[in-house]
């Protein structure tokens, strides 16, 4: 009898193992097909948005800079994961990185399948959940992107699998593992720490049959696992950045962007036109320090923005409540809002993703999950932590602003209920549980009605992606590719003023100046108060030899944006060329009041003083320009001229030499240098003769 039981158990184990293996293989093959399809896309090798930041960070890590500088502003686990891969691979190999991520994504599907088996006590529920995740288009897209979402998914599924195992058998090792996994998840997604109280309450309440001492010991193991991961990060932040932070120091700026007076529910940068991760820390710090008038620590910067957000919330509570309600709906909406690229655009290059985008999306997942919650209500005592985790995590996303990848950790939890819905339906029909069935249908219909009205049209999401691709091509100097991407963005969203500005910038770089004028004018028709469009149009007009028209646009730029130092500088230059020296000086001085460390403003001001014969003032400003920008060859040259006029020939000689060293192509400067050296040599020779005669 014992041998028979062992044989049955072994057969069941082997069957389950094969079933999980089939989930893994299916997920792996589907992701490989997608990857092969998108490799022919013109933007497949581009890194945009956060991916660009992660790649640069990973490169520094791979080159040996493991500690980095300052308190972490972005969660560090993915850049370190990427840096470790770069080190192992001997350099950056994005295809190999994506293959590793595909392996992780396929493993996530198996972990979710195991969690489903534990929570719903049915292997079929788990397998369906695993297969659903294997074909879920957003998961496929993120698993092949240079984004931390692949780790979000892996650690959420691992946490669910570990908690599911503890539900089957509450052993110490599972609680320790839960703490460790939660710690790693917090290093990719900070708000995942909100799962901690849910886990602690669950183990204290659900195992009430156990002694308090045992339950407290389990809770201690969860906290120990969490601390084992996060405390070293906190110590690193203290050592390198001077402050102890378990994860990052960006709560305040993110909270303000999601709740401040200008918040929309989507990402809005602190400074207009600087919606990139490379600017976020600097802008948050600079603006906070300008407002307070002193240097601030990372904690003080975060506190400044948090307090500012709370002040603006209190000033108009009704506005904020409407905003939070909008963000709550966005969390559950069908729209997959990308922050740099999106799965709809990649569907243009992948027929597989395009089909799945139309079949299995958030608008089908949410109703199916709602149906599953109703059909599995009889297991609520076991699965209530899933309800709590879904609601609390969704609330934490709505507290800030909504991106597809921010809400993505909800997907595996919802898929668990979707898988349970499909397996429970037959039993509910067989057992005639009509109340649960009708409640499930009504809830699913309501969820479908709420979720499937797109709050951001797909065309606008795709337009943003093409705009980002265009910006990336522009930075790489591939102007024709950039122009093609901007054309697609304009076709999808002709009302975004930033796109015609970017198109005009690309045309400007491609020496198609006349064409660029029309796009700048188009941007200004959409938004007449776009200071950057006025500035760039002015630059194009100057390059076309129409400075008179350019002046009006530069004046508009500084009128709209009073702290636009660059516009003041170029406006001063155009006025100076027209002989309006006093007006030019006034604009350069204004630029320096706004931005004292502006080398070009010092240089232009020095040139004006040099022409006016005010040599001492000219020398002072040339020196300040060179202190800011030591490689400024023209400043060295003109400083040498001013010094010559003051009779300081040796100092002039040194600056001419430095100018030629920096710019060997300055032929006239080289000639002047040779003449000055010859003159000094003659003087020294004449002095030598005088000395000889005296002797």
- For residue 585, being part of any structural domain is answered with no
Distance in angstroms (rounded) separating the CA atoms of residues 451 and 443 = 12
CA 546 from centre of chain: 39
Contact yes or no for 183/229 (Cβ under 8 A): yes
Instruction: HSE, CB side, 13 Å, CA atoms: give it for residue 69.
Output: 3
For residue 613, the 8-state DSSP code is: T
498 phi, psi to nearest 5 deg:
-70, -30
Least confident of 180-194, 270-284, 351-365: 270-284
Question: Do 184 and 235 reside in the same domain of the chain?
Answer: yes
Distance in angstroms (rounded) separating the CA atoms of residues 666 and 636 = 12
Question: Do 72 and 140 reside in the same domain of the chain?
Answer: yes
Question: Do 383 and 506 reside in the same domain of the chain?
Answer: no
Question: Do 385 and 488 reside in the same domain of the chain?
Answer: no
Distance in angstroms (rounded) separating the CA atoms of residues 514 and 508 = 9
- For residue 579, being part of any structural domain is answered with no
Contact yes or no for 394/331 (Cβ under 8 A): yes
Query: Domain range spanning residue 529?
Result: 457-563
Confidence of residue 11 (pLDDT cuts 50, 70, 90): low
Question: Do 506 and 443 reside in the same domain of the chain?
Answer: no
Q: What is the pLDDT of residue 574?
A: 92
CA 612 from centre of chain: 49
- For residue 574, being part of any structural domain is answered with no
pTM to 2 decimal places = 0.86
DSSP codes, 384-411: HHHHHHHHHHHHHHHTS---HHHHTTHH
Question: Do 462 and 434 reside in the same domain of the chain?
Answer: no
Annotate 71-109 with three-state secondary structure: CCCCCCHHHHHHHHHHHHHCCCCHHHHHHHHHHHHHHHH
Domain end position, chosen among 520, 539, 563: 563
Question: Do 227 and 319 reside in the same domain of the chain?
Answer: no
Q: What is the pLDDT of residue 102?
A: 98
Summarised one tens digit per residue, pLDDT across range 269-307 is 888 767 666 778 888 898 898 899 899 999 999 999 999
For residue 580, the 8-state DSSP code is: -
Give just the sign of the alpha carbon dihedral 527, 533, 534, 537.
negative
- For residue 586, being part of any structural domain is answered with no
Question: Do 543 and 604 reside in the same domain of the chain?
Answer: no
Confidence of residue 8 (pLDDT cuts 50, 70, 90): low
Summarised one tens digit per residue, pLDDT across range 45-65 is 888 888 999 999 999 999 999
Query: What tokens appear for 204 in the block?
Result: 């204290």
Confidence of residue 433 (pLDDT cuts 50, 70, 90): confident
Summarised one tens digit per residue, pLDDT across range 599-614 is 898 889 888 888 888 8
Domain end position, chosen among 563, 583, 611: 563
- For residue 559, being part of any structural domain is answered with yes
Question: Do 420 and 309 reside in the same domain of the chain?
Answer: no
- Which residue matches tokens 């240098």? 673
Which residues are CB-neighbours of 3 under 8 A, at least 6 positions away?
A: none
Q: What is the pLDDT of residue 689?
A: 46
Distance in angstroms (rounded) separating the CA atoms of residues 341 and 258 = 20
Q: How many domains does the chain have?
A: 4
The overall average pLDDT reported for the chain is 89
- For residue 572, being part of any structural domain is answered with no
- For residue 604, being part of any structural domain is answered with yes
Distance in angstroms (rounded) separating the CA atoms of residues 211 and 547 = 84
Q: What is the pLDDT of residue 690?
A: 46
Q: What is the pLDDT of residue 252?
A: 92
Question: Do 21 and 145 reside in the same domain of the chain?
Answer: yes
- For residue 693, being part of any structural domain is answered with no
Question: Do 527 and 407 reside in the same domain of the chain?
Answer: no
From its phi and psi, is residue 567 left (phi > 0), alpha (psi between -120 and 50) or beta? alpha
Least confident of 143-157, 280-294, 621-635, 665-679: 665-679
Question: Do 290 and 350 reside in the same domain of the chain?
Answer: no
Virtual torsion, Cα 643, 647, 651, 652, nearest 10 deg: 50
Domain end position, chosen among 509, 544, 563: 563
Q: Which CATH number belongs to the domain containing residue 651 in this structure?
A: 1.25.40.10
Q: What is the pLDDT of residue 275?
A: 67
């Amino acid at each position: 009898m014992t041998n028979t039981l062992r044989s049955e158990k072994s057969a069941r184990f082997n069957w389950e193992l094969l079933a999980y293996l089939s989930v893994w293989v299916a997920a792996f093959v589907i992701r490989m097909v997608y990857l092969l399809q998108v490799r022919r896309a013109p933007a497949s090798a581009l890194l945009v948005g956060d991916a660009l930041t992660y790649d640069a960070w990973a490169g520094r890590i791979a080159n040996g800079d493991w500690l980095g500088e300052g308190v972490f502003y972005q969660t560090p686990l993915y850049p370190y994961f990427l840096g470790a891969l770069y080190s192992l691979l001997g350099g950056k190999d994005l295809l190999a990185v994506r293959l590793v991520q595909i392996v992780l994504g396929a493993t996530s599907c198996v972990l979710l399948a195991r969690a489903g088996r534990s929570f719903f006590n049915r292997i079929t529920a788990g397998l369906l959940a695993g297969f659903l995740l294997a074909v879920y288009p957003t998961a496929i897209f993120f698993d092949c992107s240079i984004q931390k979402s692949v780790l979000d998914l892996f650690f959420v599924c691992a946490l669910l699998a570990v908690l599911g195992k503890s539900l089957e058998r509450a052993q110490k090792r599972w609680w320790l593992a839960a703490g460790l996994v939660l710690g790693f998840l917090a290093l990719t997604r900070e708000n995942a720490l909100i799962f901690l109280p849910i886990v602690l309450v669950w183990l204290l309440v659900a195992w009430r049959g156990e002694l308090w001492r045992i339950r407290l010991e389990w809770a201690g193991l969860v906290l120990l696992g969490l601390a084992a991961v996060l405390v070293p990060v906190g110590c690193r932040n203290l050592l390198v950045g001077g402050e102890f932070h378990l994860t990052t120091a960006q709560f305040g700026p993110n909270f303000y962007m999601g709740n401040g007076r200008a918040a929309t529910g989507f990402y809005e940068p602190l400074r207009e036109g600087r919606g990139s991760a490379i600017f976020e820390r600097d802008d948050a710090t600079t603006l906070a320090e300008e407002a307070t008038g002193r240097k601030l620590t990372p904690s003080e910067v975060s506190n400044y923005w948090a307090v500012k957000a709370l002040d603006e919330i209190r000033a108009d509570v009704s506005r904020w409540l409407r905003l939070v309600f909008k963000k709550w709906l966005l969390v559950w909406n069908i729209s997959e809002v990308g922050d740099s690229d999106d799965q709809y655009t990649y569907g243009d290059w992948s027929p597989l993703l395009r089909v799945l985008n139309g079949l299995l999306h958030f608008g089908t997942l949410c109703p199916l999950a709602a149906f599953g919650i109703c059909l599995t209500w009889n297991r609520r005592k076991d699965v209530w932590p899933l309800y709590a985790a879904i609601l609390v995590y969704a609330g934490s996303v709505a507290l800030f602003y909504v991106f597809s990848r921010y809400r993505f950790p909800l997907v595996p939890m919802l898929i668990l209920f979707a898988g349970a819905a499909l397996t429970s339906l037959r039993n509910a029909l067989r057992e005639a549980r009509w109340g649960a069935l009708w409640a499930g249908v009504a809830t699913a219909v309501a969820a479908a009605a709420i979720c499937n009205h797109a709050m951001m049209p797909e065309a606008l999401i795709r337009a943003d992606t093409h705009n980002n691709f265009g910006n990336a091509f522009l930075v790489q100097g591939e102007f024709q590719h950039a122009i093609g991407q901007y054309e697609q963005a304009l076709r999808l969203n002709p009302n975004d003023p930033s796109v015609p500005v970017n198109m005009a910038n690309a045309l400007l770089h491609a020496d198609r100046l006349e064409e660029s004028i029309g796009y700048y004018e188009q941007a200004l028709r959409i938004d007449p108060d776009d200071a950057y469009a006025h500035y760039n149009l002015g630059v194009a007009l100057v390059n076309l030899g129409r400075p008179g028209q350019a002046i009006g646009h530069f004046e508009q730029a500084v009128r709209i944006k009073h702290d636009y130092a660059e516009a003041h500088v170029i406006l001063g230059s155009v006025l100076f060329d027209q002989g309006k020296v006093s007006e030019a000086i006034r604009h350069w001085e204004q630029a320096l009041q706004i931005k004292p460390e502006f080398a070009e403003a010092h240089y232009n001001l020095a040139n004006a003083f040099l022409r006016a014969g005010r040599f001492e003032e000219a020398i002072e400003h040339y020196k300040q320009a060179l202190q800011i920008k030591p490689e400024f060859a023209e400043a060295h040259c003109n400083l040498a001229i001013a010094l010559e006029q003051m009779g300081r020939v040796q100092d002039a000689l040194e600056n001419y030499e430095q100018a030629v060293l920096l710019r060997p192509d300055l032929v006239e400067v080289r000639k002047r240098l040779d003449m000055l050296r010859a003159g000094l040599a003659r003087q020294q020779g004449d002095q030598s003769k005088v000395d000889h005669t005296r002797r």
